[in-house]
Amino acid sequence: MTWSKLPIKTKLILLTFITSVFGILILSASLIWYENLTYRQQISQELNVIGNMLADRSNAALVFGDVSQLKDNINSLKLRESITLGCIYNEKNQVLATFSRSGKLGCPDKPRSTSGVFEDDHFYTVQDIMLDGEVIGRLYIESTLEELRRHLQNYVATATIVSALAVLGLLIISAILQRTVTTPLLHLSETATRIANDKNYRLRAELESFDEIGELTKSFNAMLETIEYQNKEILKSYGSLERQVEIRTAELKAANQELEAFSYSVSHDLRQPLRAIDGYSEAIAEDCSEKLDELAVEYLGRIRSASGRMSMLIDSMLTLSRVTRHKLDCEEVDLSQIVEGIASELRSAHPNRDVTMTIAPNVKAKGDERLLHIALSNLVENAWKYSSKKESAHIEFGVINKREGAVYFVKDDGAGFDMKYADRLFVAFNRLHTPSEFEGSGIGLATVFRIITRHRGRIWAESEPSRGSTFYFTLNVQ
């Protein structure tokens, strides 16, 4: 389990334990170091005192060359168990008397006076034997450090036991004291959990202390009061909100019914007089052409042309209406295949046109196949139409994969338009070219805009006059 997932109670105990152990280790190491230093000083002082006493007792025997007395003096060192070697030298550094606890002699040659030297496993001191202020000999005493090691081992063992007991005591004390910190926090957490599970914002956390945790409890209770008040206000407005939703739903339903009625009227009521106008105009032109002059025949032609444009507008409006009301049926759609079919139909309808179509293969997207077919038909047919004045035209369909997603495009090298009018492109009945230049209803791009919007995408264009146009769109259906 990671540190962030541990309960706060466990964290406090672990922090106390780690801090205590670290502090006690530093204190114990300091005490052991100090005890080692003090004990070494004690050994040095004791052996120097013994050496001074023995040197004072040996100066007379050394002057008179009483070797037996010197041996008696040096053998007195065996009374201290730690001393392993003792040597008495004359002024010429010749050994006159020795003591060795192991029986092996190892007196150093020409020792120099020193108050004490600690080496790896022993300590030694060299004392001058003086008479009337003159050095007449030297005393060498060597001692083992085994006593120091035993003392330090006992001290370390004692310090370890005391430290362990201290850490245990601190843990017990911290386990008791941490409750004063964790209990209010645990109660606050339990209250928050109950509120989250039961959604009962009338509950309040109990104020158990007046420190920072107490301030947190006060703020928590104040937040609950605010939430409870807001919930009451929401419940009060819920009834009126439901009524408003019902009213808006009824209005939307009525609007949809009116739209359906309008679509039916356009589809049936408007088409019938248009067919009559076109039919009678055609009959007059065929049956009475000999009785009409050229101007009358021209007017009849204009009447038939206007009724045809009107019929095309009705078809476009019905398409726009159906696009808005059509339920999306999203699936994976092969856009390349759709564009291939549209291009094939255009080539069949206009066999004399010289148009190169570049279609990226296997371009797929998720969406409603019927609506996407309508959108691509409008875009490709626009590219075909607005490049019709070129002897050799080029139209391209493809996709650009960007970090934020796929961007699809339809590009042509036709008439183009001025970008300052780009905001009018996708508004119904707004055209950037006159009917004499290019025929059209002005509803195609508005239909494309609604289809792309229903797919939660966006559409935009880039163009220059006489240098073609590129229409980009995205599809973000979820």
Cα 58 to Cα 40: distance, rounded to the nearest angstrom: 27
What's the pLDDT at 313? 64
Q: What is the pLDDT of residues 83-93, one digit of tens each?
A: 989 999 988 88
Q: What is the pLDDT of residues 93-143, one digit of tens each?
A: 888 899 988 877 788 888 888 888 888 788 999 989 888 888 889 999 999
One-letter identity of residue 418: D
Structure tokens at 196: 């989250």
Lowest mean pLDDT among 110-119, 293-302, 308-317: 308-317
Q: pLDDT band at residue 394, thresholds of 50, 70 and 90?
A: very high
Is residue 209 classed as helix, strand or coil in its secondary structure?
coil
Above 80 in pLDDT, residue 256? no
Q: Which whole number is the average pLDDT over 19-35?
A: 86
Structure tokens at 258: 């009116």
Cα 469 to Cα 458: distance, rounded to the nearest angstrom: 17
What are residue 200's phi and psi, to 5 degrees?
Answer: -100, 95
List domains and CATH numbers for the chain: 3-167 (3.30.450.20), 326-473 (3.30.565.10)
A 10 A CB-CB count for 125 gives 22
Comparing CA positions, the residue from 380, 305, 306, 315 lying closest to residue 343 is 380
Lowest mean pLDDT among 270-284, 336-350, 405-419: 270-284
Q: pLDDT band at residue 260, thresholds of 50, 70 and 90?
A: low
pTM as predicted? 0.44
Above 90 in pLDDT, residue 450? no
What are residue 10's phi and psi, to 5 degrees?
Answer: -65, -40
Find out whether 440 and 313 touch, Cβ atoms under 8 Å. Answer: no
What's the pLDDT at 44? 87
For β-strands 95-100 and 114-118, DSSP reports them as: unpaired
What's the pLDDT at 314? 67
Structure tokens at 171: 């843990």
